[in-house]
Structure 1
Amino acid sequence: MQTLTTSGFQETPLAPDTVARFTPGTNPPPRQRRGPGRGLEITVVMQNRGLPEAGDAVLTPPRDLLADPGTYADAIRVPADGTETEQAQAVRTRRDLATRRFLELREATENGDPEPPTAFQRAAADLVRPRPDAWERQWREGVHGAAEATRAQLDALRGKDDAHPTAARVFATGPAASGRFGTCGRPAVRPGVWPPVM
């Protein structure tokens, strides 16, 4: 997996049972693989109830496509009403655009020029700046709610109230019906379908 951060370029070997974790500001998401990779299945787990799928992850297209949210959205759009072939072609096109720019950013970093990656990160932040209110609602309903429930359970145990296990439930969901393309492939489960329980 190839990644680029303000610390530089890094290659992380992937093998069965490898867990590779990266934080916001790492680009691109794990779609750059080198080597045979045959039979290697990659599972991507997203924090914050799928915020990267909700637009938090910004791909690395050419600079002019980062000019404004509309231009960027058009560049990465996968036609929801398109045929499977049209959708797959749109995904390949945006992948190729992002890969070319990623390679340019990597080359700049390896040549000691931090400005292009830094400029990309500034442009990415500008693109998503209007969206935090919606993402905060998603976070509050998801992981924040789960953390608050855990805090309440710990407080209850400290207060010798052990009633919360009587509310225990099991939740499961099947694969996404649409099989739509996501940021890192085809999500097996729709973002945000899990109840806010941990």
Structure 2
Amino acid sequence: MSEVSIYSWPGADGAAGGSPHLHTASTEAYVVQQGTGRLETLDSRGFTSTPLEPGTVVWFTPGTVHRAINDSGDLRVLVVMQNAGLPENGDAVMTFPPEHLMSIDAYARAAHLPSRDADGGEAFAEAAARRRRDLALAGYLELKAAVQEAGVAALADFHAAAANLVRDRTELWRGYLADGAARQAEVTAGHLASLESMETFYLQEARTTMGERKSRRIYGMCGRIQAWELSETVGAGTVVSG
């Protein structure tokens, strides 16, 4: 889970927003917190533009090319990602022009963002993020035009390129899946079996965990990201209500 302030940088088509991309194995959800904008998508329905305003919840499955557009200048969304570990380890592929999708090395060069601490400070990091966004947007606008002209079949080459770029990571991802989502599903199955037999010992092990915000926002694909990390316990005397 993370909070993302969508980029307010105007793009080549005049709309402000982030780097269009897809996720190859994970579903993503937006919960709009403030501001207004649009979510442009290229998926099995072709091209779609969905209005974003406070209270909107929208989610999109793997393969959906998506672009967040910040119309109000202050669009901020809470992002919930499926499969913790996969999105953080290369699950996403940005819509760079085809020559940047031909190999892992070519894609890595286009996608790389330097560290703002090691390579010139905040202004340098922002300029690099904008260049990456502009490159992804150039490829996206071509892909969008192709889908509008020829239909969803125009996505096939990009999908194939995305799969080729991530296929060597699938073994690593299986480990994250086994230790994360799959393990939690097994735990829940065990709870159901315990309830069925009236064994409530696991309920006595209940605990509360508190999320802590990191101290800075990083440059992501859609915008500036503020993430949470989980501590081991809630501080003494703290009351948290939902």
Is the shorter-chain TM-score for this pair beyond 0.5, marking a shared fold?
yes
Whether 2:139 is the aligned partner of 1:104: answer no
Q: For residue 178 of structure 1, report the CA deviation from its aligned partner.
A: 5.4
Query: Whole-Å Cα distance in 1 between the matches of residues 184 and 230 of structure 2?
Result: 11
TM-score of the two chains, using structure 2 as the length reference: 0.72
Q: Deviations over 1:14-70 (max 9, x none)?
A: 111100100010113x43x16x32443212111111522321110000100001111
Counterpart pick for 2:126 among 80, 84, 88:
88
Q: For residue 165 of structure 1, report the CA deviation from its aligned partner.
A: 1.2
1:174 aligns to what SS in structure 2?
A: strand
Instruction: Note if contact 2:212-2:230 (Cα within 8 Å) is conserved in structure 1.
Output: no
**Corresponding position of 1:158:** 196
Query: Whole-Å Cα distance in 2 between the matches of residues 89 and 148 of structure 1?
Result: 45
More displaced, 12-21 or 74-83?
Answer: 74-83
Q: For residue 71 of structure 1, report the CA deviation from its aligned partner.
A: 1.1
Q: Deviations over 1:97-151 (max 9, x none)?
A: 1111111111111112545421111100100010011111112221212111111
Unmatched tracts of structure 2, length 5 or more: 1-38, 232-242
**Corresponding position of 2:98:** 63
Unmatched tracts of structure 1, length 5 or more: none
**Corresponding position of 2:219:** 181
Instruction: Note if contact 1:48-1:139 (Cα within 8 Å) is conserved in structure 2.
Output: yes
1:189 aligns to what SS in structure 2?
A: strand
**Corresponding position of 1:54:** 89
Q: For residue 88 of structure 1, report the CA deviation from its aligned partner.
A: 1.3
Instruction: Note if contact 1:53-1:182 (Cα within 8 Å) is conserved in structure 2.
Output: no
Query: Whole-Å Cα distance in 2 between the matches of residues 178 and 39 of structure 1?
Result: 18
Query: Whole-Å Cα distance in 2 between the matches of residues 13 and 178 of structure 1?
Result: 29
Equivalent pairs, count = 190
**Corresponding position of 2:52:** 14
Letter in 2 for 1:2: E
Whether 2:75 is the aligned partner of 1:40: answer yes
More displaced, 80-89 or 127-136?
Answer: 80-89
1:130 aligns to what SS in structure 2?
A: helix
1:183 aligns to what SS in structure 2?
A: coil
Higher share in strand: 2
